[in-house]
């Protein structure tokens, strides 16, 4: 039973670790009781409203990946408001959460596609 619970929670655990690594500053993200909590290194809780638009964008996309759970995920211009390093890591982060999720992204950013093999990129 414990293994089943761990298996079910693994994508969420990966998501928390990824978001905590990607967002700026010493912040931790946790998901408790259907709420997203942001905690500073001092233990102070920060409202989501206080995050930058790029931080919110990263969290939104990665949470949508978790919800997609193996279904296609369509993202329009994910690079908006995102730091260049986040753009470089975004698609790999999505695949870390759920390898079975097909990502369809419309982007103007070469950084978003930088780590993706050419045969997986379709230019329109």
Annotate 69-111 with DSSP letters as a single string. Answer: TTS-EEEE-TTTT--HHHHHHHHHHHHHH-TT--EEEE-S-HH
Domain boundaries, the chain: 2-116
For residue 40, the 8-state DSSP code is E
Contact (CB, 8 A) for 93 and 85: no
From the list 87, 92, 85, the residue with the least C-alpha distance to 65 is 92
Could you tell me if residue 33 is left (phi over 0), alpha (psi between -120 and 50 degrees) or otherwise beta? Answer: left
pLDDT, residue 107, reads: 93
Does residue 110 or residue 31 have the better pLDDT?
110
CATH 3.40.50.720 fits 2-116, yes or no: no
| Residue 111: pLDDT over 60 | yes
pLDDT tens, 10-62?
677 777 777 777 775 667 777 777 778 888 878 888 888 888 898 889 888 88
Percent of the chain at pLDDT above 70? Answer: 90
């Amino acid at each position: 039973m414990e293994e089943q619970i761990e298996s079910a929670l693994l994508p969420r655990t990966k998501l928390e670790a990824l978001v905590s690594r990607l967002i700026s500053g010493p912040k931790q993200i946790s998901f408790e009781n259907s709420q997203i909590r942001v905690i500073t290194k001092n233990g102070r809780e920060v409202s989501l409203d206080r995050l930058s638009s790029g931080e919110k964008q990263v969290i939104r996309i990665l949470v949508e990946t978790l919800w997609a759970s193996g279904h296609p995920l369509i993202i329009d211009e994910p690079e908006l408001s995102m730091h260049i390093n986040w753009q470089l890591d975004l698609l790999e982060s999505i695949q870390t959460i759920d390898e079975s999720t097909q990502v369809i992204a419309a982007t103007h950013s070469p950084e978003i596609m930088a780590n993706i093999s050419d045969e997986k990129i379709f230019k329109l």
